[in-house]
Amino acid sequence: MKQNSKNNGDNTSVKVHAIVSNGITLEVSGKTFFLPYNSNPWFEKAKVEDVFDVEMYGSDGIRWDALDVDLEIESLIHPEKYPLTYR
């Protein structure tokens, strides 16, 4: 399985560790997060290579360019502060 890790030069890095049946596992600056498909539906039908192609977006965000998805790192640390509704 391909792994991708990108760094913006300030000790902040991001890497997708795994794609599983109910979500993805992501590491940001040494902290691991699980992003379930029920709250991150854009990953469920995405191409594997597009999910692994993640990069830092500024100092406080991550981006999947091919999927047109941006997430703030704060939303991973405190998801309760970022309620999302999808239609």
Geometric angle at alpha carbon 75, from 50 and 45, rounded to 5°: 30
Query: What's residue 82's pLDDT?
Result: 82
User: How many distinct structural domains can be found in the chain?
Assistant: 1
In a domain, 86, yes or no: no
Percent helix, strand and coil across the chain, each rounded to 5? 20, 40, 40
Distances (CA, A) of 81 to 19, 41, 74, 84: 25, 19, 9, 10
**Domain, as residue range, for 74:** 5-81
Q: Kindly report, residue by residue over 73-84, the tens digit of the pLDDT.
A: 999 999 888 876
Rounded to whole angstroms, the Cα distance separating 6 from 53 reads 9
Rounded to whole angstroms, the Cα distance separating 65 from 21 reads 22
In a domain, 52, yes or no: yes
In a domain, 10, yes or no: yes
In a domain, 35, yes or no: yes
Q: Kindly report, residue by residue over 2-57, the tens digit of the pLDDT.
A: 334 444 444 579 999 999 999 999 999 999 999 999 889 999 999 999 999 999 99
Residue 38 belongs to domain with CATH number? 3.30.2020.40
